Structure 1
Amino acid sequence: MKGFVFHSPGRSSWEEVPDPDIKESTDAIVRVDTATVCGTDLHILKGDVPEVRPGTVLGHEAVGEIVETGRDVHTVQPGDRVLVSCITACGRCGYCWERTYGQCRGGGGWILGHVIDGTQAEYVRVPYADLSVHALPGTVDSKDAVLLADIFPTAYEVGVLNGHVRPGDTVAVVGAGPVGLAAIATARLFAPERVLAVDIAGTRLEAAKSLGADAVADPGEAPEQLVADLTDGLGADVAIEAVGAPESFELCTRMVRPGGHVANVGVHGKPVTLHLEDLWIRNVTITMGVVDTYSTATLLKMAAAGRLPTSALVTHTFPLDRMEEAYDVFGRGADTGALKVVLGGQQHEVVAVRAAGERM
């Protein structure tokens, strides 16, 4: 089979790799129908995630069909169409018992495309399949479902829920890439008074407005002053950092009100200055972390009911074998207008929907 392989910072390629095999009785092998590229993958290619070894197949988001399972997999079977979660959960360790699956100590957590081969390939081995894949209803299109593997749970859990967005809040989202846009969409579920988006790309600010942002600003347009003007000088109740850069994090800490929340979602590859000399007296809460994906089942129900604007985030589609082109387009999003790129998904979609209809 072929997969997209990381070799070293700045070096990667779509090439022949060994087919995955069942290694543990809880594994499943998934034929990848639809995959996507994440901002975290770009950080890996830059060398920001040194745990990724040369020779690793990248990717941690996919939709596909189960083709083989270990003897201890009970919730899915060959032929099932599934969403592959970005987080793997053993279900037995203390963290999993607390639904903190991203910190799994039983061999899970974020492992796909990180410490084991990932989903940007024709086939992928998924450990602990019972808790790490989700059966998909036929009504959810693959290109929509794949966005629920990572960006929507990440935005919702690490941004909106960790930031404690509440009715009547002012929410500032710094970074209107895919995760930032998903944060805007899911923050709206909690009826904030207003949502402000900050980004350097005009196309992304337009997308933010279409997804419910009440005001937008370029970093050069004094977004701190805009927030102050909108809140009688107090600042945002919640500031969500969705870039992963020192400047964007520090901007969030300057925009948040006393007693407010800064929810860091971005993956940082450089040290960030934490200005405790300014923040300690303002009772600011700062949260961060990897997604746990405990909300995936709920988000899937919302997507099936048409309550999530997933399709609005997909701007480019490619066949799987054009992975390198997809990376290039996604990595130059400011120039190409790319929000989320989706690969594959055309061939098996009709079959999956028909099969679901036949079972009904």
Structure 2
Amino acid sequence: MTWQGPGRPLQAVAVPGVRLQRGDALVRVDLATICDSDVHTVTGRRPGATPCVLGHEQVGRVVDADPHARSVDGRRLLPGMRVVWSVVVACGRCVECHRGLPQACASLERHGHAAVRRSWELGGGFASHVHVRRGAAVVVVDDDAVPDEVLAPASCAVATAAEAVHRASSLLALAAGGAAAEALRGQVVVVSGAGARGLAATAMATQAGARVVVVEASECRRLLACRFGAAAVADPGESRGPLSLARALAQVDRSGRHRTVALETSGSSAAVALLVDTVGVGGVVVLAGPVAPGAAVPVLPERVERGLLTLTGVHDYAPASLVAAVAFVSEQRHRYPFAELVEHVVPLEQLDDALRLASAPGAPVRVGVRPGGVGGR
């Protein structure tokens, strides 16, 4: 299904065949999910190439692969393998790639974002098949018991959350001279937004030993955040009372000395200023929300300097974060209700309706799109 631009209906396009290049694979999509950035594109909040096969959160099975196609752990990709793959297609040779920043590759291309062209007609997940390009990180899922609904969001929302939590942990460890794996233990982490990214980050930080406070306007999502491990929740619209952020922080950290990390996952400019004011001395603020044009953020240099704060951004992720995301949702799916994030699943033929549902006020955390119907595998 190709997107033609804001306000225009999607068009079904038949692709009679795909010519795989060295290192490429063809994957049959089992389930794709609609990401916030897909919503921003179709509603015109962010620019997008046209015509384009959108969709970059998905899980599927290899149906064909070039002999040189490999997973991130070096396995040759073979028909029948169940896989999750990255948004980013990186060259692996440029300065940015060598710095460990493939998401900033000098010749970057992105699944689900590129315009349809002769050599790459099936670039996105809202299709029966995806042409996964060499340079993408591909993770093989060996456990067939993990539901599609758990795995599909791993390739964007959960992997981005993993990147954000890793960034915060690494910066804290760097300052303290300790191990990143233990950096969050006993700390207070404030997460702005209880969408898929925020909920995944909440679960990951909780699992790492942190006490997490989630700031979210929706009551339903605040309740969901508690099921993902939040120790307390707050409403950003409340400046005082039981749902204020001050009250929530007092519940988990009366001394105020452990408020070291804040993760912005909602894409809200107002939330950035709030989080900068919330973290304590030596704190880390990570911006990891959906990327779209927004208002300028007033941040006082004095607050950053005197507070010894680190303000950093995450856009997409490195391959290690995709590996971590797939492992986390697979291993922790019984502890945290990842499968329930995909509240509705519709056939691919109803993608227009699915996008409208995902764009509506009070939308589900994720809407799933399944080629060939909704029966599942």
Runs of 4+ in 1 over 6 A off after TM superposition: 345-348
Secondary structure in 1 matching 2:40: helix
Tell me the equivalent position of 1:283. 308
Percent identical across equivalent pairs? 29
Deviation at 1:233, TM superposition (A): 4.9
Alignment partner of 1:188 is 2:206: yes
Deviation at 1:71, TM superposition (A): 4.6
* 298-307 or 133-142, which deviates more: 298-307
Alignment partner of 1:215 is 2:239: no
Tell me the equivalent position of 2:188. 170
2:246 to 225, 231, 240: 225
> Given residue 47 of structure 1, which amino acid in structure 2 is its aligned partner?
G
> Given residue 68 of structure 2, which amino acid in structure 1 is its aligned partner?
D
* 307-316 or 115-124, which deviates more: 307-316
Q: Residues 108, 136 of structure 1: CA spacing in aligned structure 2 closer, same or farther, 3 A cutoff?
A: farther
Q: Which has the higher helix share?
A: 1
Deviation at 1:224, TM superposition (A): 4.2
> Given residue 288 of structure 1, which amino acid in structure 2 is its aligned partner?
G
Kindly indicate whether the alpha-carbon contact (under 8 Å) linking 2:260 and 2:280 is maintained by their aligned counterparts in 1. Answer: yes
Question: 1:313-337, CA deviations, whole angstroms, 9 ceiling, x for partnerless residues?
Answer: 2222222222222222222252x4x
Tell me the equivalent position of 1:67. 63
Matches of 2:326 and 2:258 in 1, distance apart? 34
Deviation at 1:119, TM superposition (A): 1.2
Matches of 1:316 and 1:259 in 2, distance apart? 42
- Equivalent positions of 1:1-360 (< 5 A) are 3=1, 5-18=2-15, 21-22=18-19, 24-50=21-47, 52-74=48-70, 75-105=76-106, 107-108=107-108, 111-116=110-115, 117-128=123-134, 131-137=136-142, 138-158=144-164, 160-164=165-169, 166-192=184-210, 194-222=211-239, 223-226=244-247, 229=250, 230-233=253-256, 236-266=259-289, 267-277=291-301, 278-290=303-315, 291-306=317-332, 309=336, 310-332=338-360, 334=362, 336=363, 338-344=364-370, 350=377
Question: 1:8-38, CA deviations, whole angstroms, 9 ceiling, x for partnerless residues?
Answer: 2343525235456225222222221110100
Kindly indicate whether the alpha-carbon contact (under 8 Å) linking 1:80 and 1:135 is maintained by their aligned counterparts in 2. Answer: yes
Matches of 1:115 and 1:319 in 2, distance apart? 23
Deviation at 1:303, TM superposition (A): 3.6
Kindly indicate whether the alpha-carbon contact (under 8 Å) linking 2:3 and 2:11 is maintained by their aligned counterparts in 1. Answer: no
Question: 1:333-353, CA deviations, whole angstroms, 9 ceiling, x for partnerless residues?
Answer: 52x4x1122222877965xxx
Secondary structure in 2 matching 1:76: coil
Structure 2 gap segments, 5+ residues each: 71-75, 116-122, 170-182
Matches of 1:236 and 1:318 in 2, distance apart? 41
Deviation at 1:128, TM superposition (A): 0.7
Matches of 1:237 and 1:12 in 2, distance apart? 46
Q: Residues 29, 58 of structure 1: CA spacing in aligned structure 2 closer, same or farther, 3 A cutoff?
A: same
Kindly indicate whether the alpha-carbon contact (under 8 Å) linking 1:227 and 1:235 is maintained by their aligned counterparts in 2. Answer: no
Matches of 1:231 and 1:14 in 2, distance apart? 56
Task: Give me the CA root mean square deviation.
Answer: 2.6
Secondary structure in 2 matching 1:95: helix
Kindly indicate whether the alpha-carbon contact (under 8 Å) linking 1:163 and 1:263 is maintained by their aligned counterparts in 2. Answer: yes
Q: Residues 139, 88 of structure 1: CA spacing in aligned structure 2 closer, same or farther, 3 A cutoff?
A: farther
Deviation at 1:122, TM superposition (A): 1.4
Question: 1:155-212, CA deviations, whole angstroms, 9 ceiling, x for partnerless residues?
Answer: 1112x122226111111111111111111011112101x2111111111001001111
- Alignment length, in residue pairs? 339
Secondary structure in 2 matching 1:263: strand
Deviation at 1:234, TM superposition (A): 5.5
> Given residue 113 of structure 1, which amino acid in structure 2 is its aligned partner?
G
Structure 1 gap segments, 5+ residues each: 351-360
Matches of 1:294 and 1:94 in 2, distance apart? 18
Kindly indicate whether the alpha-carbon contact (under 8 Å) linking 1:154 and 1:179 is maintained by their aligned counterparts in 2. Answer: yes
Q: Residues 20, 197 of structure 1: CA spacing in aligned structure 2 closer, same or farther, 3 A cutoff?
A: farther
